[in-house]
Amino acid sequence: MAEKVVIWGAGGHAKVVADILRLSGLEVVGFLDEVNSGRRGQPFFGSVVLGGAEQLDSLLHSGVRRAFVGFGNNRRRLEAGNQLESRGFELVKAIHPAAVVAADVKLGVGTMVAAGAVVNPGSGIGKNVIVNTRASIDHDCVVDDGAHVGPGASVAGSVIIGRCAWLAIGSTIIDKKHVGADSIVGAGAVVIHDVPDGATVAGVPAQMLQHAKKGDNLL
Ligand SMILES: CC(C)(COP(=O)(O)OP(=O)(O)OC[C@H]1O[C@@H](n2cnc3c(N)ncnc32)[C@H](O)[C@@H]1OP(=O)(O)O)[C@@H](O)C(=O)NCCC(=O)NCCS
């Protein structure tokens, strides 16, 4: 019988996660939506929206011990992962069969590696990280907890990506740079200097965005 897993999140990113977990042989018992309580009971991507986090205890009691946080807000995803673990859930990993992860790479719990992504030798990936579709992380990188390496982002060797940093779609980081915690690297940016904690940078070469609204990266 397939092991059961619940996914916290019920948007586009949660669909991608569900697809990967099903490919790994898990049964997705449902999705949690903290934002819209009106979706409770509605069908969603081959399963159902169960309600919000108030459902966690009854899920545990019914024997669902595995969980995955499948939404894009980095800080919140990390918090939700910690919350699940402290309640007694096991956070699973979601590694697409068409991802390439070198044998020595350590991946934290709750981390997703999507289709076409590559993680090369010597790199370490934290917990609740998203390595999104076709992203590449080269050798000897460190990707801290809660970070999101966006679709098609390219990270060269020996780069450090800080906690909850977001590398947006198609961005590039040259080797040996440090991308600070909670920073945002805009779509298509090319980072050639270190990025300070909390900064938003964009452009080629990447420069600070003075007027960025610090938009949330909800998916
Ligand atoms: C960097 C980003 C987060 C900034 O968003 P924001 O705070 O809402 O910024 P705004 O759209 O208000 O733009 C602020 C300024 O920065 C510029 N800018 C925004 N993103 C830029 C980018 N990627 N490259 C170059 N300039 C950019 C805007 O043109 C604007 O300039 P102006 O003040 O001269 O008009 C956003 O533009 C981005 O790149 N998002 C990535 C989306 C993505 O990857 N989605 C996939 C999710 S899986």
Q: What is the pLDDT of residues 192-209, one digit of tens each?
A: 999 999 999 999 999 999
Range of the domain at 115: 93-219
CATH of the domain at 72: 3.40.50.20
Mean pLDDT for 163-186 is: 98
Q: Is 150 in the pocket of ligand 1 (CB under 6 A)?
A: yes
Which of 74, 92, 110 is the C-terminal boundary of a domain?
92
Tell me: do 190 and 98 sit in the same domain.
Answer: yes
Q: What are phi and psi of 13, to 5 degrees?
A: -65, -35
State CA 36 to chain mean position distance: 21
CATH of the domain at 180: 2.160.10.10
Tell me: do 120 and 201 sit in the same domain.
Answer: yes
Q: Which pLDDT score, from 0 to 100, does residue 210 have? A: 72
Please provide the average confidence, as pLDDT, over all residues in the chain. Answer: 96
Number of domains in the chain: 2
Ligand 1 atom nearest to 72, measured from its CA: 48
Which of 92, 117, 147 is the C-terminal boundary of a domain?
92
In this prediction the pTM is: 0.96
Tell me: do 44 and 55 sit in the same domain.
Answer: yes
Q: Is 168 in the pocket of ligand 1 (CB under 6 A)?
A: yes
Q: Which of 209, 210, 211, 219 to probe ligand 1 with, by most ligand atoms within 8 A of CB?
A: 209
Ligand 1 atom nearest to 213, measured from its CA: 7
Q: Match 């289709």 to its residue by tokens.
A: 115
Tell me: do 165 and 196 sit in the same domain.
Answer: yes
Q: Is 200 in the pocket of ligand 1 (CB under 6 A)?
A: yes
Tell me: do 198 and 112 sit in the same domain.
Answer: yes
Tell me: do 112 and 169 sit in the same domain.
Answer: yes
> How many angstroms separate the CA atoms of 69 and 211, rounded?
31
Tell me: do 27 and 75 sit in the same domain.
Answer: yes
Which stretches of the chain are DSSP H helices?
12-23, 56-61, 74-87
Q: What share of the chain is helix, strand, coil (3-state, %, to 5)?
A: 15, 30, 55
Ligand 1 atom nearest to 209, measured from its CA: 16
Q: Is 188 in the pocket of ligand 1 (CB under 6 A)?
A: yes
Tell me: do 106 and 212 sit in the same domain.
Answer: yes
* Amino acid found at 184: I
Q: What is the pLDDT of residues 129-167, one digit of tens each?
A: 999 999 999 999 999 999 999 999 999 999 999 999 999
Tell me: do 47 and 108 sit in the same domain.
Answer: no
Tell me: do 192 and 111 sit in the same domain.
Answer: yes
